[in-house]
C-alpha cells in the first residue's frame, strides 16, 4: 500500500529515523511526535501518574526477586556547594547552614537541662539542582499540561495543584535496567562526546550487546549512562549544567512509548542531547514530547558510574530500583537518593 505524504510524515517507523528530522522545523517535529505518542486519557481523565502507571504489584514483585546479594548502590550526586549549578533560571547549588553546633553545646548556650546538647541544620536549594525527578507539571506543550489539562489550571503560584510530585511518592519502585551507552559506543573511554545524539538503533544495539538482562519492557525504569558525569568529575564541571551534552535523540520518543517505559534517567543535566537537533532556535524538544504528552517521568543528574562497574563485572544489568521522590506538596520536581539493590 502506498502512503500519502501526511501518512509518511507521521509513520512511527519514519519518526524513529534520525534522518527524518527537519532541522528547520522544531514545531512540526515536536507536534508530530506529541500527537503520535500522546497518552492523554489512557489512565482516565483524572490521572496524575502518567507512565508510572505501568508499574504494578506484579512488576514490583518481579523487581524484588532480582535481589541476590543485597548490595545497595546509591545513584545520587552529593547535595552540596560543589555541585554543577551556575544560576540558570535561579538554579543554585544547595546551601547548607548549621543552626546549632557542637561548639554551642560545649559552651552551654543551647538552654537544655542536664548537659544535653545537639546539632541542627537547614538546607536551601532548588528542587532540581542535583539528582532529581522531573514531575509531570514541569513541562508544558503550547500551554497544555499532562493529560490535556490547561497549564494555568495545573500549576499556579500555589504550586502544582493536580500532578504535584507528592502523588508519585510511592510509585518509582520497579525493575531498573542500566543501558551503558558510554561503554558500549565508546569502549576505550566509556564516555560519549558532548553533542552525541543517542538513537533508537543505539539503544537496541546496546541491549543486544549487554544481553537478556538488559531487555526493556512495560514498567521498567531505564537508566542511560553516557559517561558525561565521569568526564565532569575528571575535568571540572564546566558547562555540565545546561551546556553541550550527549543524550537521547528526539527520535527515541517512539521507542520510549513502544516499550512502555515507566521512567527514564540519565547522568546528564538535561536527559536529551544538547545542542538540540535543530539548525534554528529550539530548547529541550524531547521534554516537550514525553512529559506533557506521554506522561513520562524523567530523571537527571544521576550518578551511574558505580552501578555500571558492578553491572559490567557481573554481566547483569537489571536490579531492584527504589527512587521515591520527597512528597513535597505541589512541587514539579523532587531531589532523590535513588538506590539500586542487587
pLDDT digits (tens, 9 = 90+) for 177-207: 999 999 999 999 999 999 999 999 999 999 9
User: 118 and 241 share a domain?
Assistant: no
Task: Give 232-245 pLDDT, tens digit per residue.
Answer: 999 999 999 999 99
**Same domain? 234 vs 265:** yes
Cβ neighbours of residue 106 under 8 Å, at least 6 residues apart? 117
Q: What is the distance between the alpha carbons of residues 327 and 335, in angstroms, rounded to a whole number? A: 10
Is residue 14 in some structural domain? no
Domain that holds residue 107: 97-124
Q: What are phi and psi of 8, to 5 degrees?
A: -60, -45
Is 89 among the domain residues? no
6 within domain boundaries: no
Q: Are residues 175 and 108 in the same domain?
A: no
For residues 215-234, average pLDDT: 98
Q: Which of 88-92, 254-258, 310-314 has the lowest mean pLDDT?
A: 88-92
Same domain, 289 and 329: yes
Helices (H) and strands (E) in the chain, counts: 12, 15
Cell numbers that stand for 161 in this block: 495543584
Q: Measured between alpha carbons, how far is 256 from 19 in angstroms, rounded to an integer?
A: 19
Could you give the CA distance from residue 289 to residue 284 in angstroms, rounded to a whole number?
A: 9
Residues 284, 249 contacting (CB under 8 angstroms): no
State the average pLDDT over residues 282-307.
98
For the chain, the residue count is 342
Residue 52 domain flag: yes
Query: Is 7 among the domain residues?
Result: no
Pair 150, 144: CB distance under 8 Å: yes
- Threshold 0.85, pTM exceeds: yes
pLDDT at 152: 98
Split into its structural domains, the chain has a count of 2
Parallel, antiparallel or unpaired: strands 263-266 and 221-225: parallel
Amino acid at each position: 500500500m502506498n502512503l500519502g505524504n501526511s501518512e509518511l510524515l507521521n509513520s512511527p517507523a519514519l519518526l524513529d529515523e534520525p534522518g527524518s528530522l527537519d532541522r528547520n522545523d522544531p514545531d512540526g517535529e515536536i507536534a508530530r511526535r506529541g500527537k503520535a505518542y500522546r497518552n492523554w486519557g489512557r489512565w482516565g481523565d483524572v490521572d496524575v501518574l502518567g507512565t508510572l502507571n505501568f508499574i504494578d504489584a506484579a512488576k514490583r514483585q518481579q523487581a524484588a526477586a532480582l535481589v541476590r546479594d543485597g548490595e545497595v548502590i546509591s545513584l545520587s550526586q552529593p547535595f552540596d556547594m560543589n555541585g554543577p549549578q551556575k544560576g540558570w533560571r535561579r538554579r543554585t547549588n544547595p546551601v547548607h547552614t548549621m543552626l546549632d553546633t557542637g561548639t554551642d553545646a560545649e559552651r552551654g548556650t543551647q538552654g537544655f537541662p542536664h548537659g544535653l546538647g545537639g546539632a541542627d541544620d537547614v538546607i536551601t536549594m532548588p528542587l532540581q539542582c542535583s539528582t532529581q525527578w522531573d514531575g509531570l507539571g514541569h513541562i508544558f506543550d503550547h500551554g497544555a499540561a499532562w493529560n490535556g489539562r490547561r497549564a494555568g489550571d495545573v500549576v499556579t503560584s500555589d504550586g502544582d495543584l493536580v500532578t504535584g510530585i507528592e502523588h508519585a511518592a510511592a510509585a518509582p519502585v520497579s525493575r531498573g535496567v542500566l543501558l551503558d551507552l558510554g561503554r558500549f559506543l565508546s569502549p576505550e573511554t566509556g564516555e560519549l562526546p558532548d553533542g552525541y545524539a543517542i538513537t533508537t538503533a543505539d539503544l537496541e544495539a546496546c541491549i543486544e550487546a549487554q544481553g537478556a538482562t538488559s531487555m526493556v519492557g512495560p514498567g521498567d525504569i531505564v537508566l542511560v549512562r553516557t559517561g558525561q558525569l565521569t568526564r565532569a568529575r575528571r575535568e571540572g564541571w564546566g558547562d555540565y549544567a545546561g551546556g553541550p551534552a550527549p543524550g537521547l535523540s528526539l527520535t527515541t520518543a517512539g521507542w520510549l512509548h513502544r516499550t512502555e517505559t515507566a521512567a527514564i534517567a540519565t547522568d546528564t543535566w538535561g536527559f536529551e542531547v544538547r545542542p538540540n537537533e535543530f539548525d534554528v532556535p529550539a530548547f529541550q524538544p524531547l521534554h516537550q514530547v514525553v512529559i506533557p504528552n506521554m506522561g513520562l517521568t524523567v530523571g537527571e543528574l544521576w550518578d551511574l558510574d558505580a552501578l555500571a562497574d558492578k553491572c559490567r563485572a557481573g554481566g547483569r544489568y537489571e536490579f531492584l530500583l527504589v527512587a521515591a521522590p520527597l512528597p513535597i506538596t505541589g512541587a514539579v520536581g523532587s531531589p532523590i537518593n535513588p538506590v539500586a539493590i542487587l
